[in-house]
Structure 1
Amino acid sequence: MGSDHHHGPTNGQASSGLRNRLLLAFGITSLIVIAQAIGSVITGSLALLTDTAHALSDSTGLLVAVIAATMMLRPPSSQRTWGFARIEIVAALGQAALLLVVGSYAAIEGVRRLVEPTQVQARELLLFGIIGLAANIVAMVILSSSRDANFNMRAAFLEVLNDALGSFGVIVAAIVIATTGFQRADTIAGLFIAALILPRAYKLLRETVRVLMEFTPKDVDLDAVRTHILELEHVREVHDLHASTIGTDLPVISAHVVIDDECFESGHAPQILEQITSCVKEHFPVSFEHATIQLETAAVRARACTSVQHT
């Protein structure tokens, strides 16, 4: 059986840098929540209230992301062989769920206010919208260079980006109300924010669930992997072939491969194993650095099938 054993996070310094960026973004969004909460009370704005709830989910999500990034710095152990590599997936799942709740609330309340519009103070609304947008831009700059580092960072950047767009919607609504008196502009801005939140939250939720359910990575065709291995000389069968993702940049693959008995007798089996591991690491869109391959004889395979039939 062949396997790579360099499991878990390997770049503690990089992970620490990501955590520091998340801490800065968390501090900024926390200030946004306080400012916009005060503003929503003063102005009576649905758009600002929705953006406040959105910022609250951002702040909470970023706090979870900070905790996740901190836990990911812990090394693997005999009890946790992958360390906390998957905590980023759990954190992203929580953030997606929060965004779905906020987006659904905004949609429901927005429909109600379209029927029963409320009076909104445009000047104050504009002020708090500008404050929110400026703070979100700063947070986006902090996170932008690392937004593709892992699921956790991508979720954090996505939340701040959505909140910045929401703040922009608040500003537009304030200008429309101030210049035309059209009060429903505030409600439309709230619905706009909901429209930003829901599709992206659903996409993030779907991607994280794929990882937690251990689905095959998107860019991998296991049938093609099987065919490629079977094309190697002396390989007779491939079974129990599985591929999944532990965390960002941690795809794993395992398989039982039946080879000719003579390979074990002649000592050629290690070369076959090396060919198979090289195959799955180099010939597919996802490089499986963590590959576990078990070589078997036809007799071992037959006994395993018989055992399964008898249970």
Structure 2
Amino acid sequence: MNEQHDAGEACEPEFSAGHPARPDADLAGARGGHTHDHGLQGAGSATAKHRRKLVLVLAITLTVFVVQLIGAFVSNSLSLLADAGHMLTDATGVAIALIASLIAGVAATSKRTFGYLRVEVLAALVNGIVLGVIAVVILVQAISRFGSEVEVQSVPMLVAAVIGAVANLASLLILRSGQKESLNVRGAYLEVLGDLLGSVAVIIAGVIILFTGWNAVDQIASILIAVLIFPRAISLLSDVVDVLLEASPKNIDVDVARAHMEAVPGVDEVHDLHAWTITSGVPAFSAHVTVSDSAWSERGYHAILDEVRACLHEHFDTEHVTLQLEPRSHETSGEHVHA
């Protein structure tokens, strides 16, 4: 869904020219001879769409990691070593995302009906945890250095930091378009962004050491890098937890979706309504739809089903939809357990 819609906004009573009735396979057996494919077989995940970009970023990140690691040992800079460690974390995260996107493409089976799409989410979980651990380690090392005399060579420190900053900026531009579609691409994007800010902090620290000889600024820059990393780890983990807990996607307001569906002529009530995310870019939606007996007999459930599905697709950009239609006279007694 590109924008939130007013709950009172009704769906069009019939298909518009831009949304004609389609003999979708998703009609769940409503018409004889149709398959029951809900769009998951062969459907590429959001990460898979940007696989080439991730490969390019991985190559850049590994190269810069080696440069910064050498620079850190030559210059004796903790902040540069911290930035190099963060680069290694970035490379690991991108590698995990790439491997996960390949595994996620494995076809679904009778035992794993959604295939391995959730592997990408688990990869993002590992990435977020590692990112948080790195932040804590950097912080502890920086604090332990205070009070000790550590000489930092500013020139090699600056050279390595500038190379890292340029490479990170290039990686950001590569990942920019994909970070809104995939958790793993977003994770890589946020890590590279943090690396860029970290490289800037190292550059500033190097310039200060070069002109003033105040080596303690190196530890301060290290702490700043840790502070930059940690909130991003929390943000990524928060998104992953939402997916694993099957929270409603951020772009779908369930109450608004119910209002749209109930605005379809013939629909009396929508209950047991659920919206969740299978993996990045693959939302899912299910609901029980109660139809008036007169509409059931006059319009037929095929037309109503098509119309409700078109409504969800138009307003909420949801393809994987499972709907159970039932006439009012068939409704069982008792309260609905779900929303």
TM-score (norm 1): 0.85
Amino acid at match of 2:182: N
1:161 to 193, 196, 202: 193
- Range with bigger deviation, 202-211 or 123-132: 123-132
The match for 1:37 is 69
Matched pairs, number: 304
1:253 aligns with 2:285: yes
Amino acid at match of 2:64: I
Amino acid at match of 2:38: H
In 1, Cα distance between the equivalents of 2:290 and 2:211?
76
User: Offset of 1:41 from its aligned partner?
Assistant: 2.7
- Is residue 86–residue 134 contact of structure 2 (8 Å, CA) maintained in 1? yes
Q: CA 1:230/1:307 → structure 2, altered by over 3 Å: closer, same or farther?
A: closer
Within-5 A mapping of 1:84-103: 84-103=116-135
The match for 2:168 is 136
The match for 1:6 is 39
In 2, Cα distance between the equivalents of 1:278 and 1:25?
39
Amino acid at match of 2:213: G
2:88 to 53, 56, 79: 56
SS of 2:279 mapped into structure 1:
coil
In 1, Cα distance between the equivalents of 2:231 and 2:69?
25
Q: CA 1:192/1:94 → structure 2, altered by over 3 Å: closer, same or farther?
A: same
User: Offset of 1:53 from its aligned partner?
Assistant: 1.5
The match for 1:213 is 245
In 2, Cα distance between the equivalents of 1:211 and 1:156?
18
- Is residue 257–residue 312 contact of structure 2 (8 Å, CA) maintained in 1? yes
1:288 aligns with 2:318: yes
**1:72-113 deviation line (CA, Å, top 9, x unaligned):** 443444444434433332222222222111112222333333
User: Offset of 1:16 from its aligned partner?
Assistant: 6.2
User: Offset of 1:158 from its aligned partner?
Assistant: 2.0
Higher helix content, 1 or 2? 1
Greater than 6 Å deviation, 4+ residue runs = 14-17
In 2, Cα distance between the equivalents of 1:170 and 1:296?
64
SS of 1:30 mapped into structure 2:
helix
Q: CA 1:307/1:114 → structure 2, altered by over 3 Å: closer, same or farther?
A: closer
SS of 1:246 mapped into structure 2:
strand
**1:161-207 deviation line (CA, Å, top 9, x unaligned):** 22122122212111111100111110111122112211222112111
Q: Percent identity?
A: 37
**Structure 1: gaps of 5 or more residues:** none
In 2, Cα distance between the equivalents of 1:17 and 1:203?
23
In 1, Cα distance between the equivalents of 2:47 and 2:279?
14
In 2, Cα distance between the equivalents of 1:141 and 1:258?
49
User: Offset of 1:117 from its aligned partner?
Assistant: 5.7
- Range with bigger deviation, 34-43 or 189-198: 34-43
**Structure 2: gaps of 5 or more residues:** 1-25, 29-36
- Range with bigger deviation, 196-205 or 103-112: 103-112
Within-5 A mapping of 1:138-217: 138-217=170-249
SS of 2:91 mapped into structure 1:
helix
The match for 1:275 is 307
TM-score (norm 2): 0.79
- Is residue 8–residue 81 contact of structure 1 (8 Å, CA) maintained in 2? no
